[in-house]
Every structure is written in C-alpha cells, then in structure tokens.
Amino acid sequence: MKRTLSVLALIFAVGGGTMFFSCKGEGSNGKSEATVTVLNDTAAAEVIGHKGTVTFKVELLDAEKARSAKVWLPYPLSDASQTISNVNIKSDSQTHGIENDPKNGAVYLVASWENPGATPTLTLTFDIDSHYKKLGELREVDAPFPPEVLPYLEGSEALPLDDPLFADVAGEFKKEKSILKRARLVYDWVIENTFRDNSIKGCGLGLPVCTLADLNGAGKCADISSVYLAVARASGIPARDVYGLRMASPKNGEITGDFHCWLEFYLPGTGWTPIDPADVRKAMLTEELELKDAGKWVEFFWGGDKLFRIALNRGARDMILSEATEAYPLTYFMYPYAEVNGEAKDFFSPADFKYTVTLNLDSKNFL
C-alpha cells in the first residue's frame, strides 16, 4: 500500500539492510504518495559522509508594490553535532542582519525592504559538515544540572507543565531516581500515547495540549516532540526541541520537504542526548506496525541515529522576532517567516511566499 509522507527521501539503516522511503516534500507545496524499496548494505555503504552546501532562497512573490516587507530565517551555528562554514548572505533588501532571541538564544537572519519595486529575495548559503551520530552507551553520573541547562525545565503558555495531561503522569515518573531511566520512561510513554497523522499541515502546531486533548494524540513531528517536552520537563528532565532538516541519505537537489523537529534531553555524564519519538511513529505508520512490533525503531531513534541532520535552531520555542508586528510569540521557529505591510504570510501554504532549500553534496560523501 502507498502512504503519504512529508519528506523527499528517508533512509533508515536497520539490521542487515536499509529501508528507503521516497516521496515528494510537504514543506512548501503539499503531499504526494510514497514508494518503499529495500536496499542492500553495499548500496548504502557507498555514502560515507554528510557534507555539502545548503542554500535557502526566499521570495515574496506578491510584494513588488508593497510599502514594506520583512523576512526572518533561522541562522545555523556550529556545535558538537555540526560544523557550519562559508556562510554567504545575498539580498536586495535595504537592510539585513543577524539577531537572537533574548530568552532562548536562537539566532536568525532578518532582512527588510521599503517600497521594494521588485520581488524581495533573500538567499542564505552555507557549508555543512554534520557529525550527528549514534552516541552508543549513555553514561549517567550523580551531578546537578549546569546553570545553562535549567531554563529547559521551564514551562510556558504553550507548554503548561501543570496541566494534568502532563503533571499526573510526570508525578509517577518522578518516582524513578535515575534521569536516564526517567527519560526513557517518558520516551516510551510518548510513543505509546501519540501517533502520526499525515493530514496535518507541515510539521504541526507544536501545542501538546492540543495534540493530546483535542486530537487524541495525533500529530506530526513538532506535535509529538512538544508532548515529550511537556512530560519530560514536568518530570524534572531538561529537554529541548531541535528544528532543522533531516535526510537519511545525502542527495543532491531540493530538500525543502525535509524540515523536521527532534529532541534532546540533558543527561549528567553524557550531556545533551538526541532522541526522535516522532520518527518512531513515522516508521510505524509507513510499515503499518503495531507498537509491540516496533522495537527496532524505538531503539534506532534513542540516543542518536545514522541520519543526515542539520540543526537550524535549538530550543526555539515562544520566539519573539525583532521588528515583527504579528509574531508575538511564534510557537516554534523553523520555517522562514515573513510579513508584507505588517501582515504575516502563511509559511505552511506559501503560494505567494516561496521558499526553497537545496543541497549540493561534497563529492567526498561518496566512495
């Protein structure tokens, strides 16, 4: 049976082979049917690196005669999981610059036009060398959380930790003294109590109360990740969402449909530890698996994995964008955001707000 997916191509290496899911993207222009192919290890092994050049291009197609136009775009940084270099910004705007959210530290590029006269266009290009990987054995030590981690224990209006939906189950999980075991309890609970719904636009709303109470657990990656955030933080586990692009195998061309949200929790002794319960649920839907048969995916997405991931922002929730008139705040910031004459454009359905993301692979990726 063919299923509708929201990524251009998704490869998961499991056991003795590689499962390949192929489809057109949903990030800008909707959905398409997917096909499934099983590759052998030899074919998969031909890909040896996760390096290349990424280009974001944003065009406001209806803004030639506008009084004003603005675009905000996530600005990736180097960290333990990736090296960003050779950043280049090209724009016909009167002004552009780099800003950051004063609360969560998320960094972004903002460009402004006054009476543009032509289609406002912004291009961001950078080289990526992704080091994202499976962490192996997770080490836990008895130590306090560092001060810089403590904000990731806090709730917000969009993440109400005292809501009984989260607080009740968190009360049970707090009985487990080990942070590692507690984080795994939350991970398993979220997988059990959510499911992927391909009819939801983009990556979803990222509102955990809506996901559990109104949609009975249905959601996309931002929705399922937000449920983990709420339960984990209510359970005393620092956790943050990661907004970026996820590809299971490098490929040249457009990757606009590969926007994705995953998670990290903080484990003393290991540090920030990546997990992806939303991709577990995606794999279950694709393979039509019951929870009891999904053990390989549950383990695959716990503690990192082998996919090509590019982090655009970490913890970019409740974003207050500088100079924005309508975004107060954005629930999460992953897609480009734009305003024309002070009115926000719909980044889920950008008929007049066009953005594309392309990847040009480094030739050293391949044998």
Domains recognised in the chain with CATH numbers? 4-45 (no CATH), 51-131+314-365 (2.60.40.2250), 147-306 (3.10.620.30)
Helix 221-234 and helix 179-193, axial crossing angle in degrees, nearest 10 = 140
339/330 Cα distance (integer angstroms): 13
What pLDDT is attached to residue 349? 74
Cα–Cα distance for residue pair 119/112, rounded to 1 Å? 12
The reported pLDDT for the residue numbered 6 is: 30
Q: Please give the order of strands across the beta sheet that includes 239-247.
A: 271-275, 259-267, 239-247, 308-314
Hey, what are 207's tokens? 């509102």
Q: What is the pLDDT of residue 33?
A: 34
The first and second tokens of residue 348, run together, are 């889920």
Coil vs helix vs strand at 53? strand
Residue 193 tokens read as: 């109590």
In this prediction, the residues of the chain whose per-residue pLDDT falls under 70 are: 1-49, 327-328, 364-367
d(CA 50, CA 128): 8
CA 281 and chain centroid, separation: 15
**Which residues have a Cβ under 8 Å from the Cβ of 225 and sit 6 or more positions away?**
206, 241, 261, 262, 263, 277, 278
Task: Tell me the whole-structure pTM to 2 decimals.
Answer: 0.86
Q: What pLDDT does residue 18 have?
A: 35
End-to-end CA distance of the chain: 34
Q: How confident is the model over 2-38, as pLDDT tens digits?
A: 333 332 233 333 333 333 333 333 443 333 333 333 3
Query: Which of 341, 327, 35, 301 lies closest to 187 in space, CA to CA?
Result: 301
Residue 145 carries which side chain, given as an amino acid letter?
Answer: F
| Total count of residues recorded for the chain | 367
Q: Give the torsion through C-alpha atoms of 237, 293, 34, 332, to 10 deg.
A: -10
Distances (CA, A) of 37 to 18, 19, 22, 125, 256: 9, 6, 8, 32, 22
188 backbone φψ class: left, alpha, beta (φ>0; ψ -120 to 50): alpha
Contact 204, 259 (CB under 8 A): no
Query: Would you state the torsion angle of the CA atoms of residues 350, 356, 357, 362, taken in this order, to the nearest 10 degrees?
Result: 170
Which sign does the torsion angle of CA 304, 135, 242, 184 carry?
Answer: positive
Report which of 196, 195, 227, 187 is spatially closest to residue 209, judged by C-alpha positions.
227
Q: Outline where 68-175 has alpha helix (H).
A: 164-173
